[in-house]
Structure 1
């Protein structure tokens, strides 16, 4: 009986090492669980060592390497270099890391309307509530500049529409106060209103968005707010 038991153990060990098809219901999970993982992990490595080693780099970045990768990522975002931004994100760059003037790849792309870079940063986990040196979200400068498509992307991503920056302005107030009231600004205000932005939030002078639009002669925007 002892000899037979040893023989069974020996056979099971042989099956596990050779990854042979299970011959009985009981040992099958043990054998497949230990052997199925190994070929899966080895597969990509043997098919393409380059991509596999790249994917393994981000968790292993030293603090110094992380700082440098983040710095290069922000520079690439500021240059609207989509390919470089994609490469640096894949290498472990942090889309929320900020430079000395509190710009991140996400915040800068949103402010300047670099929509491809913006989409990459959002896909990489951009913090939609992060703020710039003026205490504003990416949506506020995007609205100021009249980047209507960028505003659409940021609203859809969940950036707060009623955030007030350090100057006391919301995205809607800044869209009115710091531009010309033209078609792009009208579209921005339309989108903000549709997203539930509150036009009654007052600026530091106590004026609502409607009062500012009327005061500046932006009749189309005033009509949108009234409507």
Structure 2
């Protein structure tokens, strides 16, 4: 007859084997289920997986975290559920986009608010949420990002600031907001354009006039332009 210690070890081994037998089928498809539920907004399924131990920082083949997938699709309830598990708010996918950047790009204001309130970074190297908001003309999001401390002078990889992106695309409401900040009116992008020159090149004469009026009000001279012809 086995000794007491031996019996305990046998019982522990049996219990562990049973646990693994039950858990293995359950967790086998958990990765796919987590990615799918984040993307589709299946909050109930994702919450269940999170409770059972799925990593909230799980990423897909393109480096999109569960939070990025949910934010990109505007799944506010799913984002809220994920935030309870403290995912990495500043994680960026292979394209360099964060959850906040993609929420802003697609105009998901509720999701963006959740992320900003949770402490998602608004300033970092490369493209930023403010660049995306300015490029798309999302006035409410520009206001919210500026209130959260977004740097209007931050430069995108093409050396454009948010004002320049808004001016290029004809978003006069965003331009007016950004002209109230200390943004550099003489910043020159990698093609040699200032904000007003870029506005003019795209037919946005009213915006160009606003920028030039603000430059005069500040008492600064326009820079010499170097437009590259390719």
Shorter-chain-normalised TM-score: which range? 0.5 to 0.7
The residue number in structure 2 matching 1:170 is 128
Gaps (5+ residues) in structure 1? 1-56
Count residues with an aligned counterpart.
161
2:115 corresponds to 1:154: yes
The residue number in structure 2 matching 1:209 is 162
Q: Compute the RMSD of aligned alpha carbons.
A: 2.2
The residue number in structure 2 matching 1:120 is 81
The residue number in structure 2 matching 1:143 is 104
CA deviation map 1:15-60 (0-9, x unaligned): xxxxxxxxxxxxxxxxxxxxxxxxxxxxxxxxxxxxxxxxxx8xx9
Looking at secondary structure, tell me which structure has more helix per residue.
Answer: 1
Q: Is the 8 A contact 2:65 2:91 kept in 1?
A: no
> How far does residue 88 in structure 1 lie from its aligned partner after superposition?
1.4
User: Which whole-Å CA distance do the structure 1 matches of 2:177 and 2:37 have between them?
Assistant: 38
Q: Is the 8 A contact 1:193 1:225 kept in 2?
A: no
The residue number in structure 2 matching 1:48 is none
For the pair shown, the structure with the greater C-alpha radius of gyration is 1
Q: Is the 8 A contact 2:30 2:49 kept in 1?
A: yes
> How far does residue 170 in structure 1 lie from its aligned partner after superposition?
1.0
Closer/same/farther in 2, CA of residues 137 and 61 from structure 1, 3 Å limit: farther
Gaps (5+ residues) in structure 2? 1-18, 181-230
Question: TM-score w.r.t. structure 1 length?
Answer: 0.65
User: Which whole-Å CA distance do the structure 2 matches of 1:107 and 1:67 have between them?
Assistant: 23
Closer/same/farther in 2, CA of residues 102 and 144 from structure 1, 3 Å limit: same
